[in-house]
Amino acid sequence: MAIHVNRRKFIASLSGATAAWPLAARVQQPTMPVVGFLTSATLSGYAPFAAAFRQGLSETGFVEGQNVAIEYRSAEGQNDRLPALAAELVRPQVTVIAAAGTPSALAAKAATKRIPIVFSTATDPVAIGLVASLNRPGGNITGVTNLGTELVQKQLEMLQRLVPTATIMAVLINPTSPSLTESTAKDAQAAARKLGVQLHLLHASTASDLDDVFATVVHLRVGAFVVGPDAFFFSRRDQIAELATRYAMPAIYYVREFAAAGGLMSYGVSVADGYRVAGVYVGRILRGATERLASPGVDEVRASHQPKDCQDTRPRRATRTIRRCRRANRVTMLFAASAHDR
């Protein structure tokens, strides 16, 4: 499930802004467009999503090294480095910035009001101030959100069904990603009250923190565990899955890659597909296209992978529609990766 943030005149407005740039700046532009790819995670850990992004680019006719260059900037799990990395991309004036994850998107938005930004995030972009609305993002920014933070309630419910004796549960969140943390924590606490279980919010932002977290989980007698959506956690999925196995801790994850790494199960959306769509958006901007970013036949906002009767172009009802039609979305549950997946 991904919400495509669209605006009919988004790319057209960018084309108009380009015409207004100083002539000298335009003359200095390289013949091969340059895309800045900004992420808070390690590049090796985020490789599957970067590959999906490049796939989206290729669908619009752009292949890295042939007719487009990509400048990668990684904060290596240290979100406080993102503003400086975003500034590095802005100074040489890349053509477009692809912001991978919420912290990266916020850093890119703060760094420039001129260079187009395409983000991919797991939370509501309106709530965190990335865009003005889903159908009219405003400014120089657009992108894709999978609303992964909303699924934590269902993940807790599934854990309770799997481990009915678990009266104490925990959710792992990254304190250096406050926007994701707040959204995940709020939904998790609401779900815990509904399920009648005690909930602990545990923080980790470094590899050593993860070791400490699992030791704490045992001390708190936690019976089941949710890993919240975060780029750092994704990049450390092998370590997290191994720790959960070592401590015999039933855990559920937000994307299938954790289960493929040896985790117990996952329940979530196709995050990779969201990055593919972000790549398509970037490609359309590079082409200077004037068509809408939305798919044909969709006016403003769409929950991708939904049947047409579950689409709603009115932003005030978008979230309600997503919830009503969630069963029709591409939501996957994967138990213990098969040998084929490994």
- Reduce the secondary structure of the chain to three states and give it as a string: CCEEECCCCHHHHHHHHHHHCCHHHHHCCCCCCEEEEEECCCCCCCHHHHHHHHHHHHHCCCCECCCEEEEEEECCCCHHHHHHHHHHHHCCCCCEEEEECHHHHHHHHHHCCCCCEEEEECCCCCCCCCCCCCCCCCCCEEEEECCHHHHHHHHHHHHHHHCCCCCEEEEEECCCCHHHHHHHHHHHHHHHHHHCCEEEEEECCCHHHHHHHHHHHHHCCCCEEEECCCHHHHHCHHHHHHHHHHCCCCEEECCHHHHHCCCCEEEECCHHHHHHHHHHHHHHHHHCCCCCCCCCCCCCCEECCCCHHHCCCCHHHHHHHHHHCHHHCCCEEEECCCCCCC
pLDDT at 306 over 70: no
Q: pLDDT > 90: what percent of the chain?
A: 59
Per-residue model confidence (pLDDT) at position 123: 85
Interacting residues of 290 by C-beta distance below 8 A, sequence separation 6+: 11, 12, 15
pLDDT at 62 over 90: yes
Give the neighbor-by-neighbor strand order of the sheet with 251-253.
198-203, 168-173, 224-227, 251-253, 265-268, 332-335
Split at pLDDT 50, 70, 90, the class of 298 is: very low
Per-residue model confidence (pLDDT) at position 257: 92
Q: What is the mean pLDDT of residues 18-42?
A: 65
Are the CB atoms for 332 and 268 separated by under 8 Å?
A: yes
Per-residue model confidence (pLDDT) at position 2: 53
Q: Give the pLDDT confidence of 192-217 residue by residue, as tens digits.
A: 999 999 999 999 999 999 999 999 99
pLDDT at 299 over 90: no
pLDDT at 191 over 80: yes
Per-residue model confidence (pLDDT) at position 39: 95
Give dist(CA 68, CA 290) in Å, integer: 20
Split at pLDDT 50, 70, 90, the class of 288 is: confident
Per-residue model confidence (pLDDT) at position 270: 87
pLDDT at 314 over 60: no
Per-residue model confidence (pLDDT) at position 139: 87
Q: Give the pLDDT confidence of 161-176 residue by residue, as tens digits.
A: 999 999 999 999 999 9
Are the CB atoms for 230 and 199 separated by under 8 Å?
A: no
Mean pLDDT of the chain: 79
**Bigger pLDDT: 325 vs 38:** 38
Split at pLDDT 50, 70, 90, the class of 3 is: low
pLDDT at 310 over 70: no
Task: Report pTM.
Answer: 0.72
pLDDT at 13 over 50: no
Q: What is the mean pLDDT of residues 8-17?
A: 45
Q: Give the pLDDT confidence of 105-130 residue by residue, as tens digits.
A: 999 999 999 999 999 988 889 988 89
Per-residue model confidence (pLDDT) at position 180: 85
Split at pLDDT 50, 70, 90, the class of 4 is: low
Q: What is the mean pLDDT of residues 78-87?
A: 95
Per-residue model confidence (pLDDT) at position 8: 47
Q: What is the mean pLDDT of residues 241-255?
A: 94
